[in-house]
Structure 1
């Protein structure tokens, strides 16, 4: 990682750390105002190249997967709600997204990367 010898490395990492936190907050707020998740995913894709090779790359990958899989399960749940299984899918998705946001925040807070296979 050439980042270690570049001037301003600490400032860059601090900025990326804050952006990662902002996205976790936006995803958490999406339970109250769904559009915040869209802002979060846009930030993820705009800043994705900047986090490459840092601890926050795994967080961005985690956040992006959380958004897309959460959206996919929400759509499936909404489509199948009329046969009642949709309620179960939506409830499970709700719990899963909360888990992902909380686990991501805790790893972010501890300065740990996110696992790549979960």
Structure 2
């Protein structure tokens, strides 16, 4: 007989494995990654990849959150690029602040709906998705 340790795979799934599975917990992680993107820029891209991977797999109310999250990233990027171009006309600084407020508000509203177990009412919206 050998005394070889079977490793973590033989003991069952880790509690953190469910963070990557499609569902409310994964959508919550993506919202947090988006918000952390203000401090750690690459985390927003990681969240986008997770949203694309899990969209269409979760079913139920979470599907609207994945659509909302993907659109939040791309629309936010578009708004930020427009604001960056307008920085040369000075108004871009104000628009950058407005884009940051819009992005944070959209993430917070999405988080609140997710915590209530509700879908995003209008995930295809260009504004706040209310």
Asked whether the two chains share a fold, i.e. TM above 0.5, the reply is: yes
Q: What is the number of equivalent residue pairs in this alignment?
A: 105
- Aligned ranges 1:2-41 → 2 under 5 Å: 16-41=23-48
CA distance in 1 between counterparts of 2:112 and 2:53 reads 24
Q: Which is helix-richer, 1 or 2? A: 1
**So what's the TM-score if we normalise by structure 2?**
0.75
After superposition, give the CA deviation of every residue in 1:29-63 in whole Å (9 maximum; x if it has no partner).
00111111100110111111202x31101111111
Instruction: Tell me the CA shift for residue 15 of structure 1.
Output: 5.3
1:99 is matched with 105
Unpaired runs of 5+ residues, structure 1, are 1-10
Whose RCO is larger (CA < 8 A, sep 6+)?
1
**Structure 1 residue 79: deviation in Å?**
1.5
Q: Does 1:112 align with 2:112?
A: no
Match of 1:85 in 2: 91
Map 1:64-75 onto structure 2 (within 5 A): 64-75=70-81
1:113 deviation in Å? 0.7
CA RMSD of aligned residues (A): 1.6
Structure 2 residues without counterparts, runs of 5 or longer: 1-17
SS at match of 2:77: helix
TM-score between both structures, scaled by the size of structure 1: 0.83
Is 1:46 matched up with 2:53?
A: yes
- Structure whose alpha-carbon radius of gyration is higher: 2
